[in-house]
Amino acid sequence: MSHPDCLFCRIATGQVPSRIVHETKHVVAFLDIHPIRQGHVLVVPREHFAYYDDLPAEVANDVVRVAQRLAPVLRTGFGVERVGLFFTGVDIAHAHAHVVPMVEPTDVTSRQYIAEPTLTFRPAPPATAADLDGAAALIRNALGGVRDP
């Protein structure tokens, strides 16, 4: 079931264009247009679930399985030692996982580690179409296509 006003539901049904790098029966993986780092992929259930703890086990397992399949591709393709996987649910109320090539430890961090008492945040800058196209091609080629066999 999808929600017509949900951006991720509209991406999952193909109503909104995206750079899909992988898909399965349960999830769609596509590049974040405001990436923390180049190659930042979102893994989104096709069906609408507002919170990650609402995900049925089969769908949650597929999210993690796809993220695990992406991690070595992102590590090699973007020359990083680590790839982060996290659920935040801050911007869009549709359960989704972030799979991020980690360039610096601060790419994903907790307020607990920050010394300054006041911080301000802004959205990450949008990626260029060329950067998104290049990252999508690299990931798709390394995975051998977009769909699981």
Contact of 140 with 51, CB cutoff 8 Å: no
Residue 102 dihedral angles phi and psi, to the nearest 5°: -95, 110
Q: Which residues lie below 8 Å from residue 121, measured CB to CB, with a gap of 6+? A: none
Contact of 26 with 45, CB cutoff 8 Å: yes
Marked catalytic residue, from 22, 26, 40, 96? 96
List the beta bridge partners of residue 98: 42, 86
Query: Is 40 known to be catalytic?
Result: no
Of 147, 33, 34, 29, the residue nearest 99 (C-alpha): 29
Q: Which residues carry out catalysis?
A: 96
